[in-house]
Amino acid sequence: MAVWLVRSRTFVHSLSKKMGFLGVYPSRSSWDASFMQYSSSSSAILSLVDNRYGSRPYGFFDNSATRFLVPRFKSTEPERDLDSQHIKEDEEDHDQALDFPGGKVPFTSEMSFISESGDKRVPCYRVLDDNGEPIVSSNFVQVSKEIAVKMYSDMVTLQMMDSIFYEAQRQGRISFYLTTSGEEAINIASAAALSADDLVLPQYREPGVLLWRGFTLQDFANQCFGNKADSGKARQMPIHYVSKNHNYFAVSSPMATQLPQAVGVAYSLKMDGKNACVATYFGDGGSSEGDFHAALNFSAVLEAPVVFICRNNGWAISTPTEEQFRSDGLVVRGRAYGIRSIRVDGNDALAVYSAIHAAREMAVREQRPILVEALTYRVGHHSTSDDSTKYRPLNEIEYWKLTRNPVNRFRKWVEKKGWWSDKDDSELRGSIRKQILQAIQIAEKTEKPPLADMFSDVYDKQPSNLQEQEKLLRETIKRHPQDYPSYVPV
């Protein structure tokens, strides 16, 4: 298969060059007329992006019933404006440029190394200030009252669910838990900007995406308590959610493995012509894995409709970002791989919503990957197995918890719009608390999955080695019943 693909691409490259020499390529304007059909509902943000980048596929046999296309976009071509002087010289003397795959590369007599960093850091897109006031001349996607109220309600629900489930783990009622404290805006706002048809490959700190899509509090409790109502049949440790009905792939503990998988899923959507994309989440720590780099490279080369959403919360467990990389965060890495990128304030729900909305539109419409770096802060411990006060100061945590709180900031904006009140907030919090406690009580009383579920769902017909393992386990339980929980049906 790999040999066939390489030969096919070589054939296309060779033939396209010959057709270009023969003048068979259609004019730029004809391609613009045929392919630059943008939706009239595109936001101002998308219009600005389009004016800067545009999109133009190369092709030939334009009037033929059999059209053979090799899509490429402007952003994947060399940015000639950076070397306009050399390009001008190249036009005068073709010998002064190297005809290399991807475009002509101009020569220079000056030995100059590319700087390891820019003079200034990449700016962070923001809509609301810390007091919930819209920044003057801010450009963002408008949000209706219905969506805004649901966004805030789900952010509060996520915040309260984390608090109560964390305490349940401390009481010994569940074995493990991990909160999203400080990152509620990334969870809910990004989910709100996606379509229900978009597929999600999460890391482990994105339960808010499931909550937005309709995963109930009872569903969350069933998974954390590992009962027979859990859609994963209690095979995963707590917070490793999965829901086929909500297009949410299973959480996997190994770091960054979801990233190259997301590219493959996105490429399948492209092959099937689906009007959807893949959204995959990861932290700054995940970007230090090789899978991150492989995923970005493959997505750019294959032009897969995938949105990479990085939650740069400053800490990879106890490792700060300055000990992970020397680059200006993650956003600058996109350009190195030929991927359009943006940095956004992850504690600003409106900014996250607008950025992901625009990224999703570009990914689907132009069939390209997009990288979004959301700057935020992990207010809670990494998990219930961690004590973050051992490696970071308390005043730093308190500053982000109080001053930069994403839930409080968005509430101020919703209240100023006249869509929310103190009474609404009190009623919501009282109702959510009651629902969560009730869900926990039901989950605790629900029977555990049968022992046989450990060996099912992998093969259509159980192989002999699994049959032998199941038999051995049952015999061991009979010999040592005191060492096995009595509440698990054998």
Query: Which residues belong to the active site?
Result: 167, 253, 382-383
Q: Alpha-carbon distance 169 to 380, whole Å?
A: 14
User: What is the DSSP code string of 50-80?
Assistant: HHHS----EEE-TTSSS-EEE---GGGS--G
Helix/strand/coil for 460: coil
Name the token pair of 272. Answer: 């099937």
Backbone dihedral angles phi then psi of residue 98, each to the nearest 5 degrees: -100, 120
Strand order in the sheet with 278-283: 199-201, 278-283, 306-312, 370-375, 340-345
Write phi, then psi, for 326 (nearest 5 degrees): -105, -10
C-alpha–C-alpha distance, residues 343 and 347, integer Å: 12
Among 199, 144, 146, 143, CA closest to 352: 143
Residues 6 or more apart in contact with residue 255 via CB below 8 angstroms: 285, 286, 289, 291
Give which of 145, 137, 266, 152 is closest to 198, Cα–Cα: 266
**What whole-number distance in Å separates Cα of residue 397 and Cα of residue 386?**
15
For residue 248, the cross-strand partners are 200, 243
Tokens of 190: 């990004």
- The answer for residues whose C-beta is within 8 angstroms of residue 24's C-beta and 6 or more apart is 60, 61
DSSP string, 333-367: HHHHTT-EEEEEETT-HHHHHHHHHHHHHHHHHHT
Question: In terms of C-beta distances under 8 Å and separation of at least 24 residues, what long-range contacts does 425-433 make, across chains too?
Answer: 425/156, 428/153, 428/156, 429/156, 429/160, 432/156, 432/157, 432/160, 432/161, 432/217, 433/160, 433/164
Pairing of strands 306-312, 370-375: parallel
Do β-strands 315-316 and 319-320 pair in parallel, antiparallel, or remain unpaired? antiparallel
d(CA 204, CA 262): 15
- Residue 209 phi/psi, 5-degree rounding, is -65, -40
For residue 254, the one-letter residue type is: P
According to the 3-state scheme, what is the secondary structure of 238-297? Answer: CCCCCEHHHCECCCCCCCCCHHHHHHHHHHHHHHHCCCCCEEEEEECCHHHCHHHHHHHH
